[in-house]
Amino acid sequence: MIKSLLKYLIGLGIIVILGGLFYQKVYIPKTTYKEIHPTQGDLQEHVRAIGNLSALKIYTITAQTGGKILKLFTESGEWVKKGDLLVQMDGVDLTTQLKIAQDALKKAEFDAKATVHELTNQKAQERLLYKTYTRYKRLKEQGFVSLSEYDKAKANYESIHASLVATKEHIKSSKAAVAMAQKSIDALQEKIARLNVYAPVDGYVIERDAQEAQSVLPSQPIFKIVDPQTLWIVAKIDERISSSVAIGEEATITLRSQPQHPYSGKVVRLDAMSDPVTLEREVDIGFDTIPNPFYINEQAEVKIVVKRYSNVIKIPAKVVVQERGVLGVWLHQGNHAHFQAIQKIAQSDHEIAVENLSLEDRILIPDPDKKPLKDGMRVQP
């Protein structure tokens, strides 16, 4: 009898011990939940979109004259400054042609000067022959000279006068020759100047499309340079939400090559037309600071602020659950769980602004490793 009672007491003790262990090690941990309080502050709503890095100003550099490329002074991936020499074309015999044209100009100028001197000399002769002619004319009228002497004086005067007229025309011709030679020099100098191609802006070389010793046409691309000050993300958003986006709105840009380094920016342009196929609208987002490095056509994610809320009650999105199709949170009330539906005002990436919660509410954080919360379930603080 005593042995049976002892066994009973030992068994009961074991049950109590196991029950205590179960309560302390299993039940309490399974029913103990972390909790938080709602906070108060500002919240922003965003529109997300995927786009590609591009720029408003991308310059295609071409030769200004056709011919063979003598030398290239930059490469793809290099920075250049405005005025830097990029391309030098082979001028072939342009320098020789310029020397010939310069010599022709000197000769034309010399001829023009000589003709002017000749005109001065002829004018002096004309004055002298005119005096002789008028004197012989009076003497002939008085009968002191013969008719043949008078005719000779007259012919000499008329001859020098005709020479004067011819010399004046020669001077005009010489001046025209000088002007023509100068135009020829100007044209050759312009051609020679076009042999060198310079950077139009400070920029980044994104493409090299030609090689040294290659023959190119005037319209054939050699380099492409992007003005980094005009970098932007070209993104597409659904036209149904495009009306919520406005020019000047703040945005966050995350480049695929720099996922840990988001850049700030602003909406700088909204396309006036939607794509009739995709039903999307283009949005261009500029950078506040130039990314370094950057790669044209690189994929990027943008997050655009479309609405701001000030001094609202907020809760983390991770505490919101769905019960029977209703969104809400689990509240800790008198050591019991109570499901409270929420009235959402707005939502950001990680927070939700609500109307029907207070800063004193104790929100239970659901835990997949613990017992599922149920209305009225006892929970540990």
Residues 6+ apart with CB under 8 A from 29: 370
d(CA 184, CA 12) in angstroms, rounded, equals: 121
**Cα within 13 Å of Cα(205), Cβ side:** 22
Check: pTM over 0.85? Answer yes or no: no
DSSP labels, 252-289: EEEETT-TT--EEEEEEEEEEEE-TTT-EEEEEEEESS
Q: Could you tell me if 313 and 357 are in contact, meaning their C-beta atoms sit under 8 angstroms apart?
A: yes
What pLDDT, on a 0 to 100 scale, did the predictor assign at position 106? 81
d(CA 225, CA 77) in angstroms, rounded, equals: 10
Residues 6+ apart with CB under 8 A from 96: none
What pLDDT, on a 0 to 100 scale, did the predictor assign at position 24? 44
What pLDDT, on a 0 to 100 scale, did the predictor assign at position 195? 80
| Cα torsion angle, 141, 147, 153, 158, sign | positive
Q: Could you tell me if 179 and 109 are in contact, meaning their C-beta atoms sit under 8 angstroms apart?
A: no
d(CA 226, CA 54) in angstroms, rounded, equals: 9
Single-letter code of the amino acid located at 131: K
Q: Could you tell me if 203 and 225 are in contact, meaning their C-beta atoms sit under 8 angstroms apart?
A: yes
d(CA 102, CA 107) in angstroms, rounded, equals: 9
In three-state secondary structure terms, 332 is strand
What pLDDT, on a 0 to 100 scale, did the predictor assign at position 371? 79
Q: Is the bond preceding 291 in cis, omega lying within 30 degrees of 0?
A: no
DSSP labels, 291-326: -SS--TT-EEEEEEEEEEEEEEEEEEGGG-EEETTE
In three-state secondary structure terms, 49 is strand
What pLDDT, on a 0 to 100 scale, did the predictor assign at position 128? 84
What would the CATH number be for the domain defined by 61-81+200-225? Answer: 2.40.50.100
What pLDDT, on a 0 to 100 scale, did the predictor assign at position 29? 52
What would the CATH number be for the domain defined by 23-38+320-381? Answer: 2.40.420.20
Domain range 48-55+227-308, CATH class:
mainly beta
Nearest CA among 220, 192, 199 for reference residue 73: 199
> At residue 306, what are phi and psi to the nearest 5 degrees?
-115, -20
Q: Residue ranges per domain, the chain?
A: 23-38+320-381, 48-55+227-308, 61-81+200-225, 94-193
What pLDDT, on a 0 to 100 scale, did the predictor assign at position 21? 42
d(CA 55, CA 206) in angstroms, rounded, equals: 12
The CA distances from residue 370 to 20, 29, 174, 366, in Å, are 19, 7, 107, 8
d(CA 88, CA 71) in angstroms, rounded, equals: 5
Q: Could you tell me if 105 and 178 are in contact, meaning their C-beta atoms sit under 8 angstroms apart?
A: yes
List per-residue pLDDT tens for the chain, 381 residues long.
Answer: 565 655 555 655 556 454 444 444 444 455 688 889 999 999 988 889 999 999 999 999 998 888 888 899 999 889 999 999 999 888 777 667 768 777 777 887 787 788 888 778 878 887 888 888 788 788 877 877 788 877 887 888 788 778 878 878 888 877 887 788 788 777 767 777 778 899 999 999 999 999 988 988 888 899 999 999 999 999 999 888 888 899 999 999 999 999 999 999 999 999 988 888 989 999 999 999 999 888 999 999 999 998 899 999 999 999 999 888 899 999 999 888 899 999 999 888 889 999 999 999 999 888 888 878 888 888 876
d(CA 293, CA 290) in angstroms, rounded, equals: 9
What pLDDT, on a 0 to 100 scale, did the predictor assign at position 59? 94
